[in-house]
Structure 1
Amino acid sequence: MEPGKRLIGKVAIVTGGASGIGAETARLFARHGAAVLLTDSNTALGKRIEEEIIAADGTALFASQDVREEARWSEIVGLAEKTYGRVDILCNIAGISGRDPKQNIQTTMTAGPRLADQTLAHWNQVMEINATGVFLGTKAAIPAMQRAGGGSIINISSICGIVGSHANAAYHASKGAVRLFSKAAAIQYAPDRIRVNSVHPGFVDTPMTQPGHSNPEVASQRLAATPLGRFGTPHDIAAGCLYLASDDASWVTGSELVIDGGMTAN
């Protein structure tokens, strides 16, 4: 293996790859030698990340995807195998907070409504993207990984999949589902050398969290709850995904990698 590069010869699918944690994970994987198929519902931004990776001498291809569509998942996995010959890594990063997308500055202390104010349609949207999308991606990738002789599936959960809060119940439920789904999948497919782990970011500066962090009251409360005294960066989370994707984590499955600046240690 080339010194310093940890994913030489591997093929990765990264959802939510147009911005934030997904874009940084796609960049980092490519820098470490992986061929990356990045997907997102935002075609313009996704193509920009593809071009950026290629300009930096990486290997990348963008494909538009709604992670809620099962048929599209089959096409995405097929595209990765057709283009690069195999699938070794799947990073399920696509997700939503549940905040009103038109809201530039969060006006309440949490991104989503309190339980009594949550509509069924809103609940279903959050669960379908954050949890069902992870299920569909994992289901679609497993046969390809079996053909490849193994693989690593990395599912982005959240500290909200470990602890609760006073609002945004749909988000907590979706991320808790990802956490335990990952453990069940890890046990089922360990005989196939397919590892499945969840990653639990704390308060990270991304486009998804920008409306919340633009509210000084929200930002100060979150910083006060983080012992290391700063917000995370997309690279902080991407670095954890790189570890789980690499052969350095060959004996790691069914685990929770918490990257939260110490927040859940309180």
Structure 2
Amino acid sequence: MNWFTRVRTSLGFGSERKSTEKDLWIKCSSCQEMLFVQEYEDNLNVCPRCEHHGRIGADRRLELLLDPGFELLPQPKVEEDPLKFKDSKKYIDRLKAARAANPHEDAFTVGSGAIEGTPAVIGVQDFHFMGGSMGMAVGQAFCNGAERALERKCAYVVVTAAGGARMQEGILSLMQMPRATVMTRRLKAAGLPYIVVLTDPTTGGVTASYAMLGDVHIAEPGALIGFAGQRVIQDTIREQLPEGFQRAEYLHKHGMVDMVVPRSELKATLARVLDYLQPRIAA
């Protein structure tokens, strides 16, 4: 380090510039183009060059889908470390780190309000919180959202994004799969629509339960949707998988997803679907 650089560093010159540059730019994970952060966020975290749909947090998602004035349901209180799990790090420490980096206590947040005037409850899974993994808190939050929809006699919309069940909670995390399934059956019995919006990625136990039980399945473009990983499947069947396998467009082509909708059109699409289903809600 030369004398000029040392002086600049000691006086604080340059550090502000580095921070500003970092805050101003973001690299698209798909096309690798450098984008202005403001332009990227204004475009709903969708790359304006290649239209890759980046991940967004729960609060932003609820703001995009619900009309202003919606209510957030309180986060459920569950036993936080029932198995006293520890790998390279204690589970309780992982939870603390995740909570410090995110606005909510766990990976599933529920908002109650309306979509373009039609009453609806929306549950959002946030991949930023421990990969959106499904543990007891996520399962309870999902059930609470369904209960609120039953109380209000309105549709329940769930936006999924998860790496699967939370291994630190073992069998207790897997028990959330049948619990969530029971709630979807209760919604069906009450004649209330259950709509799933599949975002990148939706995998594992979440895909094996409530993510694929919707009356209508909508996916964002390019979203990875599946149970096991491609490498596991390929090694098991010993065959090369087709191009685009487990992506939203592939699932739509093969009948597992009803429609693929860009993020900018998602709220209007949900409103239209709810409008179609409104007579069933009234009944």
Task: Give your verdict on TM over 0.5.
Answer: no
Q: Give TM-score scaled by structure 2 length.
A: 0.33
Higher relative contact order (CA 8 A, sep 6+): 1
